[in-house]
Amino acid sequence: MDHGIFLNLRVNFTIKTDILLYKYQLDEYPMRAQEQISELREKYSELLEGARRNETILRKFQNFEIQLMDSESLEEFLDQVICHSKEIFNWDYVTLVLVDSDYEIQRLFEQSDHEITDNPNLFFIHENSCLTRIYQGLLSPLLTRYQLEAHAILFPDADTQPASIALLPLLHKGRLIGSYNIGSNDKDRFDENAGADFLKHLAAVIAVCLDNNLAREHLKYLGLIDNLTGVNNRRYFDQRLTEEISRIRRSGNPSSCLFIDADHFKNINDTYGHQTGDQVLRYIAQVIKEQVRQIDVVARYGGEEFTVILLQTASEKAIEIAERIRQMIAMRPFEDENENEISLTVSIGISTLSAEEIQHAADAANRFVKQADQALYMAKNSGRNKTLCYDRDALLIEQVEVS
């Protein structure tokens, strides 16, 4: 065969092959393009769904944070943080651990009407060293699997152990003041590779709201405390008196009221000075507090006069407590800062109120206080250093036998 013809045949064959290949590629291109478009659409749908999911989560967090900021009391704030959050975000475990090195937060609870036990998932620790070990200097949310040895202190009363947890450090002015702890039974719910921007912002909001609520409670506490003696003031006494009248009516159990007055207090001021007089009042307040229960209400009524509401206490027990206070003060001379020994005595009046005697709450409250004050007046006018009890049945003042 002629070499030129052979060359032409080979060229033609190559051209035909290239044409067929190009035609195949042209036929295949729409199919590949369609697959790529489908993949892009699928990815777009996934991104869109993720954005919608994040928007829903963001809206939940924003609404929850608004609820926290709108809380009108420490009790309401804690209820939102610990209880409502579980319902809103479908969390299986929620606890709040607070650093309370000086017992200040727990003291606020004691001075308020709500109990710490009303918040079973609220815990206090004396120092933040254990939290520092957990966070290891990372002051951002920690998402991880639950480890009993490391994390039991944050979920101490859990009947079962969470599978995964999110730990949110609570910071105030750069100081670690607590930890907000979330747990899930799903081991993949809180993954260490997951984003934590929402949780980090939530931690900051909780810390600010916690500080604001504690500050508000502290101001409320200061407004109800006598600055000189540290016991409750007249305003607090009047508030609790109204509450106690309602409680007596509901429970049917009587309560008693003591009016306690320092005898010859003007002479102490005149002889030793007002600073010593202030020390004497602080001392008497301390003795009274030591002889009653924490649930009882001790207040400075005015001047050198103190009052006590003995909750759920009948007259016999009230007399016993009053005598204990009177004798404790009388038997121990007070020594001032100049080492002067000052003999002190107090006079005490007692009244007891039962549910049967309450028809109108305001009238009952006034009568309760007035009768204790009348008993005190009689004790002062009959020689002082006495405990007298108002007897409602005979409308008489009965003197307690001094042992």
- From the list 271, 375, 386, the residue with the least C-alpha distance to 329 is 386
For residue 1, the model assigns a pLDDT of: 46
- From the list 353, 364, 394, 389, the residue with the least C-alpha distance to 374 is 389
**Token pair belonging to 283:** 């001392």
Rounded to whole angstroms, the Cα distance separating 325 from 307 reads 12
Q: Per-residue pLDDT for the chain (403 aa), expressed as one digit of tens each? A: 444 434 344 445 455 555 555 555 555 556 566 666 676 666 656 666 656 666 777 788 889 889 899 888 888 999 999 999 999 999 999 999 999 988 888 878 776 656 665 788 999 999 989 999 999 888 889 999 999 999 999 998 767 899 999 999 999 888 999 999 999 999 999 988 777 888 999 999 999 999 999 988 888 777 888 989 989 999 999 989 998 999 899 989 999 999 999 999 999 999 999 999 999 999 999 999 999 998 899 999 999 999 999 999 999 999 999 999 999 999 989 998 888 899 999 999 999 999 888 888 889 999 999 999 999 999 999 899 999 999 754 345 555 544 4
Q: Name every residue whose Cβ is closer than 8 Å to that of residue 370 and which is 6 or more positions away in sequence.
A: none
Residue 386: left if φ>0, alpha if ψ -120 to 50, beta else—which one?
A: beta
For residue 113, the model assigns a pLDDT of: 59
Residue with tokens 């939940």: 60
Architecture of domain 67-223: 2-Layer Sandwich (3.30)
Q: Is the whole model's pTM more than 0.75, yes or no?
A: no
Residue with tokens 């042209």: 26
Alpha carbon distances (Å) from 28 to 18, 20, 23, 38, 290? 15, 12, 9, 16, 94
142 has which bridge partners?
A: 167
Q: How many residues does the chain have?
A: 403
For residue 45, the model assigns a pLDDT of: 66
**Token pair belonging to 79:** 């209820």
Strands 346-353 and 387-391: parallel
Rounded to whole angstroms, the Cα distance separating 40 from 28 reads 18
349 has which bridge partners?
A: 259, 388
**Token pair belonging to 77:** 């704030």
Superfamily of domain 234-399: Reverse transcriptase/Diguanylate cyclase domain (3.30.70.270)
Residue-range domain boundaries for the chain: 67-223, 234-399
- From the list 148, 106, 141, 107, the residue with the least C-alpha distance to 125 is 106
Cβ atoms of residues 352 and 311 within 8 Å: no
Tell me whether residue 304 is one of the annotated catalytic residues.
yes
Alpha carbon distances (Å) from 312 to 39, 53, 94, 183, 370? 75, 55, 36, 42, 19
Angle ∠(391,364,350) on CA atoms, nearest 5: 35
- Identified catalytic residue from 65, 244, 304, 305: 304
